Chain A
Amino acid sequence: MSISVDNLTKRFGGLTVVHGISFTVAKGEFISLLGPSGCGKTTTLRCIAGLDDADGGEIRIADRVVSAPDKGIGVPAHERQIGMVFQSYAIWPHMTVAANVGFPLAIRKVAAREVEKQVDDALEIVGMRHLRERQPSQLSGGQQQRVALARAIVGRPRVLLFDEPLSNLDAKLREGTRAEIRQLQRELDVAAVYVTHDQEEALSMSDRVIVMDSGRITQTGTPKELYRRPANRFVADFVGRASFIDVARVNGSGWTTPGGVVLRIDDAGAPAAARYQAMLRPESVAMVRGTASAAAGDTANTLHGRVVESQYLGAHTEYLVDVSGARVKVHSREDFDLGTEVTLRFPAEVCRLVALSDAPA
């Protein structure tokens, strides 16, 4: 394992911000820590980097224990051999681009000629070689970001850590950079931990995503697992767009809505909980005009309702459909007027049962 975090706990004063979380990242694996601000994802990353001291648990990087407060182990950040990209890039304003990128080598007493060569290589990789003598103040945000990336990889680190590196870039640049970061990490074949609050970023880049909330891990899984089979309402809500219908179990196996409609639901492996909801992704619901009944033998679920809101988004329109108390989001390329009576159809496999935790989310 390249990184293993075991039962990590971090407190700031009396406030516990990370409650004993555990996960591992394999060599070459790219995982994201995803969650809303204040969920403890950045703190977790800073503990791995050694910028914050953990209060409990154990962290290993490449099988070396770097943090184990119980045993009095706390390897300082500068001995952990990491590469890190910061949210605000942290390009040192008093050094040129080349000096910034060469810093991790220069302080390790690498020979000047070798530093030059590796700096050129690193800058070449991020496409910034022609700007090597520039001052940071002469660079755009995107260019600074690339310098930060070059600086993170130049020392051949054992792990790469990213703290929301794209959140200060504009949308177009962000999409292009995602792919580049991922490709770079694959080539270097190192473990990467990527902190973000942007679910699209996490889904598109990661091998696995760890969703965090209030200092705990809510769910770990591949992007597809997370999107299709979220463990609970929080994950379902945070990852992608979703609507929820309260459901109750009847006759041991079936599920009904408060309006009394029986739904066929994918409930395989759902955790035990006091209350449940059925989750629907807006793009997997089909919507037609009128109140057509389901044909016999049709296994898809059918709900009748009325369009109450619409938002035109270009590629499609997002409608909000009132179905006897619940409100369902539906994406459709057709036009519907407000108040139109419609029928919603969706197969059982896209209707996922999620736990509605009454416990503090």
Chain B
Amino acid sequence: MSDQTMPVQVLPAEARTRRGNADGVLTGIYWITFAVVAAMVLIPVVALVYGSFRTSAPGLPGEWTLRNYIGLASGGVLASMLTTMLIGLLTSVISIALGTAIALILHRTDFRHGGIVMPLIGLTFYFPSFILAMAWIIVGAPGGIYNTVIDDVLGMPWLRADIYTVAGIVFVMVLHQVPFVYLTIRGPIIGMDPIFEEAASAAGAKPRTVLVRITLPLLSYSLISSFILTFVLTIEQFAIPALLGIPGQVTVLATQLYLLVRFSPADYGLAAAIGIALSLVTGAAIWAQRRVTRAGRLTTVTGKAGRLKLVPLGRWRWAANLLCFGFVFLGLVMPMMILLYTSVLKWFTVNPLEGMYTLRNYVFIWESGSTVRSFTNTLVVSGVGAAVGVVLGLLCCYFTLRLRPRGHRSLDFLASLPFGVPGVVLGLGLLWAYAYLPLPLYGTLALMVIAFVTRFLPYATETIGGQMVQIDKSLEEAAWVNGATRIGGIRRILLPLVSPSLQGAYFLLFMAFFREISSAILIYSVNTAVISISIWSFFEQANWGLASALAVVATLIIFIAMTVIIRLVPATRRR
């Protein structure tokens, strides 16, 4: 006994001091994280709120006023608010229907081509919205391919269509949003315990009855959650309504804000008020979505993913094929072909036989300093920015989910706040904040990184947090009991276990940054233009060829990066 007593007395004292130092370090890191996140999120928000109560742009002499909020009730703003809601609801309803149908076809029936369709829908998800919109303008504009064929080849002018309309915007938005719905619904469908459906069919229900009475009701929380998120993404979407709506004078809130800032007569105050109104709508929707998700978690449907018998498509096989392949064709294959075609033409023509073909657009990309710079800018911003975002996301998750020190709820709130702020609104806040703050950030790539990381920080915390909550705290506690410090426990136990989600989050952020345009459109300068901005500018200058060539190259980079990363990092494979 006596020879055991001594080490027993010594050990705790030693451990206590080590624990104490480690806690000190962690506390320091916590407050740094808190300060950084608070600064990133609050500075643009405060600038925006401040601006919305001023008579002039921030930095200029002006007075406090409520005029801007009164302006929200003007006819123009109300009209665009209605248009925004209309487009948002239509798009969400159609996208939910199509996305859920595709997910059910791929994962609940004996559909034969899942191996082809699934990865193609994944690619469609990463296909940038402004590139998709450009391709559909080339097709569907009044002088575009579709109408030319209708008029000149078929001679059936009653079939003419115009993409610069609400219907056109909804059409392209749906093409852009369906993959998102599919990806959010497939998890619940795959993870659903098949026993509920089996019990129904044992009770005598036909496959269609099982679908209507059991499968869809059990998915209802996921469907509502996906619907709300789609609605949010749609009403904050900037590129599609800007490219399609501005020429056709269809104005939504996001584009109205942009027009008020970018073109005279500028009205910064009204733009800020619109931004705040839009953020309130998206913020409320996100809050509702969180509530739904939490309620849905109580009636836990997800269990062991079992081997469910697949529903035979039978005589509906043609319809399933049409839906899946039709979607992939309209959302990805055809737009890519159109862009490829446009990019090798000297002058745009609908008839490929009359075209004068050239590679000069690609040569220009290679030789022009500005496009090469926008490529390097994009790679730097995406590569470095995603790393910053992952580190920040990891720290936020550790403090809000694990350590939970004083103020962790505020940190959680701050980190998820950008979810409710549309990109173009965030861009406006950043524009004002950093144009007038005495910080040497305006016109630097660092500001781009700040903008993107702030906007997509919730993506990182959701991805990493989702995995971290599943790791039992006792695994770390076991490490402490066995002599590891808190930091040792993090390094040797927690980090290795969450590393798949870190890789996943990096991938997600990299892709999001690479495609991002809405938060960059108001803050870029000549030296900090990223690819998306360059493509945008060329297209605005009606240089379809160059814009298409650049879009083709950017899309190829995205697809190649995605393929490589999915090959290298198993964690990014969703399944």
**A134–chain B nearest beta-carbon distance, Å:** 14
The interface residues of chain B lying within 8 Å CB-to-CB of A52 are 307, 309
Chain A hits for B301, CB < 8 A = 93
B residues near A (Cβ < 8 Å) are 193, 195-196, 198-207, 209-210, 213-214, 217-218, 220, 298-299, 301, 303, 307, 309
Question: How far, in angstroms, from A81 to B307 measured CA to CA in the complex?
Answer: 22
Is A86 an interface residue, CB under 8 A from the partner?
yes
What residues on A are CB-neighbors of B207 within 8 Å?
76, 78
A contacts, CB < 8 Å to B: 12, 49-53, 76-84, 86, 88, 90, 92-94, 103-104, 107-108, 137, 151, 155, 161
Residues on A with beta carbons closer than 8 Å to the beta carbon of B195: 86, 88, 90
Q: List 5 A-B contacts (CB under 8 A).
A: A78-B206, A78-B207, A81-B204, A92-B214, A137-B299
The complex places the Cα of A51 from the Cα of B203 at a distance, in Å, of 11
Q: Shortest distance in angstroms between A95's beta carbon and chain B's nearest beta carbon? A: 8
Of listed B196, B199, B299, residue having the most chain A CB within 10 A: B199
The reply to whether A78 and B220 form a contact with Cβ atoms under 8 Å apart is: no
Q: A92–B196 contact, CB under 8 A?
A: yes
Nearest neighbor of B303 in chain A, beta-carbon distance: A88
Q: What residues of A have a CB within 8 angstroms of the CB of B307 in the complex?
A: 12, 52
Known interface pairs A93-B218, A94-B299; A107-B213 also in contact (CB < 8 Å): yes
With CB as the reference atom, state the residue of chain A lying closest to B209.
A107
Q: Which B residues lie within 8 Å of A104 (CB)?
A: 203-204
| Closest CB in chain A relative to B208 CB, distance in Å | 10
Q: Besides A78-B205, A83-B202, 14 other CB < 8 A contacts?
A: A12-B307, A51-B202, A76-B201, A76-B207, A80-B202, A88-B193, A92-B214, A93-B299, A94-B299, A103-B205, A104-B204, A107-B204, A151-B199, A151-B203
What's the least CB distance linking B69 to chain A, in Å? 43
Name A's interface SS. loop
- Cβ of B227 to closest chain A Cβ, rounded Å: 18
**Is the Cβ of A82 less than 8 Å from the Cβ of B202?**
yes
- Do A53 and B213 have beta carbons less than 8 Å apart? no
Task: Enumerate chain A residues within 8 angstroms of B298, measured Cβ to Cβ.
Answer: 137
Instruction: Specify which chain B residues have a CB less than 8 angstroms from the CB of A50 in the assembled complex.
Output: 201-202
B28 to chain A, nearest CB (A): 45
Complex contacts, A155 vs chain B, CB 8 Å: 203-204
**A92 & B206 in contact (Cβ 8 Å cutoff):** no
- A78–B214 Cα gap in the complex (Å)? 14
**Chain A residues, Cβ within 8 Å of B309:** 51-53, 77
Asked if B218 contacts A107 (CB within 8 A), the reply is no
Q: How far is A86 from B196 in the complex, measured between Cα atoms in Å?
A: 10
Contact B201 A51 (CB under 8 A): yes
How far apart sit A161 and B205, CA to CA, in the bound complex (Å)?
17
* Most chain A beta-carbon neighbours within 10 Å: one of B204, B217, B218: B204
B201 and A86 form a contact (CB under 8 A): no
Contact partner of B201 among A78, A81, A83, CB < 8 A?
Answer: A78
B204 contacts A78, C-beta separation under 8 Å:
yes
Chain B, residue nearest A49 (CB): B202
Tell me the minimal C-beta distance from B225 to chain A in angstroms: 16
Question: Which A residue's beta carbon lies closest to that of B195?
Answer: A90
| Docked pose: A76 CA to B203 CA in angstroms | 11
